[in-house]
Amino acid sequence: MSTQSVFGAQWGDEGKGKIIDLLAREADVVVRYQGGANAGHTVVVGTEKYVLHLLPSGILHEGKINMIGNGVAVDPVVLLQEIDELAARGHRIGPDRLRLSAAAHAILEVHKRIDHASERWRGDGRIGTTGRGIGPAYADKAFRTGLRMADLIDSKRLRQRLTAFLAEKNALLERVHGAEPFDLEEVHAVCSRVGARLAPFVTDTGRELRRLWREGKGILFEGAQGVMLDIDHGTYPFVTSSSTGVGGIAPGAGFPPNAIERAYGVAKAYCTRVGEGPFPSELNGREADRIREAGNEYGATTGRPRRCGWLDAVALRYALELNGATGLVITNLDVLTGFEEILVCTGYRVDGRTLQDYPAERADLGDLKPVYERHRGWHEDITATRSFEELPEAARDYVEWVESLLGFPIVMVSVGPERDQVIPRPDRVPALT
């Protein structure tokens, strides 16, 4: 069986959930390796819609092992809520199906309060975070003050770690942010309660994962957010706090990097972004509204309207190159139906020059002006199309044109939110060497 990974190749919300859900059918193990409850994967199964924040998408399939790796920042309260909600809808989640890394860091209420408070300090430079405590939790991980799942399930250690942690955080909250401090006993009670419930799931996921891989099991790594939000390679500082691409797998799951055989990037046929930060091909006005409504572009986690724009082929090529993508999945092609002309950003104008490559070396990416090329649109409804040949000629040409602009094969095209609204292109999937 193969080892595959799926990553977001734009600013998140590319429709990874559905693609992961499709590929999960062939996998035995589905693994999250970074991010936290800032992610929101929407999966539609028949008439049922599921929004998952922390649970891997494979959780909706019977008989799969789902792992939350050490690189994920886990809000234990949210995780338990998700487990309970799925249970209420008939999906029993036991330790046979869900494994949680002992080394995954916990997001506590403290982190969320600091997340909100820090945004206020940033003023015009605010990131527009999801408010889920992601940045402060990863900061604590790097600062070595964080609490991990192993701490939550060990009552003696929990009190010790928590006492030191809260003393510092309360000083920060009160003296720097002018915010309410937390009561040690209350936080301890919450941590003990969630720790006790999560204890059966907690393990060394890396060791289990490597064993399953040695046994020949199919493994699927599920990325959250997107490459342009990567802490190192994204539009810093308007990024999230983890390594969102394939490079995050080895440290975030405890898995050998050379064992990852396939890496699929997922991108919409246009672009969206939530939160602040550079977005060269952003649209305003009627065209943006049209994409937003047709694509239902509202955040799965926060409900915020997403910023919308044309496909940015420069940023997308950068994301695919950076991750050594085996191929690209284009989603939401149906949203472009009805446009007379479809634009794609193929360069940036800046300082009197035109750039063909993504200028990651620039401190300020906010002044890049898009250079567009145009393609004719189509008017036919494509949502029931299941083979590439059945697509209108203009849609086929568009996909092939984007493929040539990027230099990466487009291995699937999705034409609607349902699991089966996907057009496979098996001839584009490179054989394993």
Task: Cite the active site residues.
Answer: 13, 41
* CA 319 to chain CA centroid, nearest Å: 14
User: Out of 107, 110, 127, 166, which residue is the one contacting ligand IMP (CB under 6 A)?
Assistant: 127
Peptide bond into 237 cis (omega under 30): yes
What number of other Cβ atoms are within 10 A of residue 346's Cβ?
Answer: 17
Q: Which of 103, 107, 274, 342 binds ligand IMP (CB under 6 A)?
A: 274
User: Under the criterion CB under 6 A, does residue 129 sit at the interface with ligand IMP?
Assistant: yes
Please choose, from the candidates 106, 104, 135, the residue with its C-alpha nearest in 3D space to the C-alpha of residue 32.
Answer: 104
Q: What's the closest the beta carbon of residue 12 comes to ligand IMP, in angstroms?
A: 3
State which of positions 240-269 bind ligand IMP (CB under 6 A): 240-241
Name the pairing type of β-strands 422-424 and 410-414. antiparallel
The number of angstroms, rounded, from the C-alpha of 352 to the middle of its chain's C-alpha atoms is 35
Q: Judged by CB under 6 A, does residue 75 bind ligand IMP?
A: no
Span of 11-19, 21-29, 90-98, 105-113 interacting with ligand IMP by CB under 6 A: 11-19
| 118 is an interface residue for ligand IMP by CB under 6 A | no
**Of the candidates 60, 229, 246, 260, which one interacts with ligand IMP according to CB under 6 A?**
229
| E strand map for 75-160 | 98-101, 105-106
Among residues 242, 257, 314, the alpha carbon closest in space to that of 280 is found at 314
> Phi-psi region for residue 351, left (φ > 0), alpha (ψ -120 to 50) or beta?
left
Looking at beta carbons only, is 212 or 266 nearer to ligand IMP?
A: 266
| 14 near ligand IMP, judged by CB under 6 A | no
Judged by CB, which is closer to ligand IMP: 78, or 355?
A: 78
Nearer to ligand IMP, 5 or 38 (CB): 38
12 binding ligand IMP? (CB under 6 A): yes
Is residue 38 at the binding interface for ligand IMP, with CB under 6 A as the rule? yes
Helical axes 109-122 vs 134-143, angle rounded to 10°? 100
Verify binding: residue 9, ligand IMP, rule CB under 6 A: no
Cα–Cα distance measured from residue 417 to residue 145, given in angstroms and rounded to the nearest whole number: 41
The span from the CA of 249 to the CA of 73, in Å, is 14
To ligand IMP, the closest distance from the beta carbon of 380 in angstroms equals 31
Q: Cβ-closest residue to ligand IMP?
A: 275
Query: Which chain residues interact with ligand IMP by CB under 6 A?
Result: 11-13, 38-40, 127-130, 132, 134-135, 224-225, 229, 238, 240-241, 274-275
